[in-house]
């Protein structure tokens, strides 16, 4: 059911793009992520953990290696950011059961905004090791490994443009119960933030992840205080883009941003270089940004596939390798998805990034 546009705007005539996106995606009463489970063939999109368990296993092995590199501390925390339909968390819990030493030391936290998805996750995951949190200060003592797959691209962004040395911000407006978009003069406080990251050097459209930076601000302070790092895998770019990367998807098809509001997923490409700069500002060390294909191959995805496909019949082998192909092929997710790893400056761990 299409949501009533008045509900989004309330008494406001217009909303900055990020506030508009926050409402249509996450509002408790009518937000996209609060209404349904959008993952998989029956939903609107398919993510890497939905494609293959081996993707998840590679990440879990990376976590275990990280813990080993820290000299196997007695307490280690793993935080999954935006666990979605819990495909990843399920494999995380299952795989760690084969590694009793880390299993004894680990606390797993799931950080989820959507109440609907939290309920769904709680139905799938039942383990004394797993807790759902709304605030990072609930994390116990010990180093922390944060992980987010397609977390950053689901966070609302702001958009700006420069016209004759004036800066304008994109707003959503309510025109007779239909959504339309306009540019309005930007606030000085926002312009200053953009200047800090030298985003006006070449003109064009500027996308600014204010919400993402707010989330990272808290994550970075935990990493500085407790040691550890944050690994993000997402759909995005490294060199300057200057394009409008907002994308609305409804039932696996591209959709007009102003249509199917509240029923379509809206994401944007992640500006990895901007996030890299943000982490550096926050006094963390950032490894070289690599592609999903590089990451997974360095973690041994092909060797693992060979091992488990050994006893498979032909049909299952084809299915397995077509999934792996989807994850690592440069024509599919392999290059368009990138991986960034930011860590405490004293941390030496760099598996897959060297
Ligand atoms: C695109 S989905 C990715 C899900 C999962 N990681 C995967 O790869 O299948 C984004 C997830 O992030 C959650 N999310 C978005 N913004 C959030 C926030 N500010 N805090 C916590 N979770 C958030 C969504 O509800 C959803 O579970």
Contact 113 CB / ligand 1 (< 6 Å): yes
Residue 201 has pLDDT above 80, yes or no: no
Residue 43 falls in which region: left (phi positive, over 0), alpha (psi -120 to 50) or beta: beta
Q: pLDDT band at residue 2, thresholds of 50, 70 and 90?
A: low
Q: pLDDT band at residue 279, thresholds of 50, 70 and 90?
A: very high
Question: How many A from CA of 155 to the centre of ligand 1?
Answer: 8
For the chain, the domains span 5-343
| Residue 19 neighbours by CB under 8 Å, 6+ apart | 156
Contact 154 CB / ligand 1 (< 6 Å): yes
Which of 44-58, 239-253, 301-315 bottoms out in mean pLDDT, i.e. has the lowest? Answer: 239-253
What pLDDT is stored for residue 35 in this prediction?
82
Give residue-wise pLDDT tens across range 308-354: 999 999 999 999 999 999 999 999 999 999 999 999 999 999 999 99
- 232 phi and psi angles, rounded to 5 deg: -125, 135
* 240 vs 19, residue with greater confidence: 19
Residue 42 has pLDDT above 90, yes or no: no
Residue 88 has pLDDT above 70, yes or no: yes
What pLDDT is stored for residue 202 in this prediction?
66
DSSP letter (8 states) at residue 141: S
Give residue-wise pLDDT tens across range 125-184: 999 999 999 999 999 999 999 999 999 999 999 999 999 889 999 999 999 888 999 999
Contact 110 CB / ligand 1 (< 6 Å): no
Task: Tell me which residue has its CA closest to atom 14 in ligand 1.
Answer: 82
DSSP letters spanning 10-69: TT-SEEEHHHHHHHHHH-TTT-HHHH---BSTTSSB--HHHH-HHHHHHHHHHHHHHHHH
Q: Where are the alpha helices (DSSP H) in 97-198?
A: 100-105, 115-124, 188-196
CB–CB of 213/278 below 8 Å? yes
Nearest-10 Cα torsion for 257, 261, 262, 266: 0
Q: pLDDT band at residue 102, thresholds of 50, 70 and 90?
A: very high
Q: Candidates 84, 87, 210: which one to mutate for ligand 1, based on the most atoms within 8 Å of Cβ?
A: 84
Give residue-wise pLDDT tens across range 25-34: 999 888 999 8
Contact 86 CB / ligand 1 (< 6 Å): no
Average pLDDT, the chain: 94
What pLDDT is stored for residue 200 in this prediction?
80
Contact 155 CB / ligand 1 (< 6 Å): yes
Task: Tell me which residue has its CA closest to atom 16 in ligand 1.
Answer: 155
Task: Give the β-pairing of 337-343 and 285-286.
Answer: antiparallel
Q: pLDDT band at residue 241, thresholds of 50, 70 and 90?
A: confident
Contact 3 CB / ligand 1 (< 6 Å): no
Across the range 91-103, mean pLDDT stands at: 98
Q: Candidates 36, 113, 120, 152: which one to mutate for ligand 1, based on the most atoms within 8 Å of Cβ?
A: 113
Question: How many A from CA of 202 to the centre of ligand 1?
Answer: 32
Q: Candidates 55, 151, 327: which one to mutate for ligand 1, based on the most atoms within 8 Å of Cβ?
A: 151
Contact 44 CB / ligand 1 (< 6 Å): no
The CATH number of the domain covering residues in 5-343? 3.40.50.12710
């Amino acid at each position: 059911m299409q949501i009533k546009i008045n509900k989004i705007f309330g008494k406001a005539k217009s909303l900055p793009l990020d506030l508009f996106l926050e409402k249509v995606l996450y509002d408790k009463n009518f937000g996209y992520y609060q209404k349904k489970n959008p993952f998989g063939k029956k939903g609107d999109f398919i993510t890497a953990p939905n494609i293959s368990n081996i993707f998840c296993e590679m990440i879990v092995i990376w976590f275990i290696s990280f813990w080993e590199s820290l000299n196997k501390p007695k307490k280690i925390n793993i935080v999954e950011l935006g666990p979605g339909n819990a495909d990843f968390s399920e494999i995380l819990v299952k795989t760690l059961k084969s590694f009793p030493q880390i299993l004894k030391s680990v606390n797993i936290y799931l950080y989820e905004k959507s109440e609907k998805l939290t309920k769904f996750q709680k139905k799938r995951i039942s383990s004394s090791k797993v807790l759902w949190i709304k605030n990072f200060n609930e994390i116990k003592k010990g180093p922390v490994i944060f992980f987010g797959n397609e977390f950053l691209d689901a966070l609302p962004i702001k958009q700006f443009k420069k016209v004759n040395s004036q800066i304008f911000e994109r707003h959503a407006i309510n025109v007779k119960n239909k959504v339309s978009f306009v540019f309005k003069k930007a606030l000085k406080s926002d312009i200053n933030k953009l200047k800090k990251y030298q985003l006006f050097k070449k003109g064009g459209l500027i996308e600014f992840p204010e919400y993402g930076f707010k989330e990272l601000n808290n994550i970075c302070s935990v990493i500085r205080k407790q040691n550890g790092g944050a690994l993000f895998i997402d759909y995005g770019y490294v060199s300057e883009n200057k394009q409008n990367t907002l994308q609305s998807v409804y039932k696996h098809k591209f959709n007009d941003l102003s249509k199917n509001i509240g029923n379509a997923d809206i994401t944007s490409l992640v500006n990895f270089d901007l996030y890299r700069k943000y982490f550096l500002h926050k006094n963390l060390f950032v490894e070289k940004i690599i592609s999903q294909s590089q990451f997974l191959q360095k973690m041994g995805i092909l060797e693992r596939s060979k091992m488990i496909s050994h006893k498979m019949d032909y049909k299952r082998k084809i299915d397995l390798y077509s999934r792996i192909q989807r994850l690592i092929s440069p024509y599919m997710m392999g290059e368009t998805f990138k991986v960034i790893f930011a860590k405490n400056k004293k941390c030496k761990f760099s598996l897959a990034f060297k």
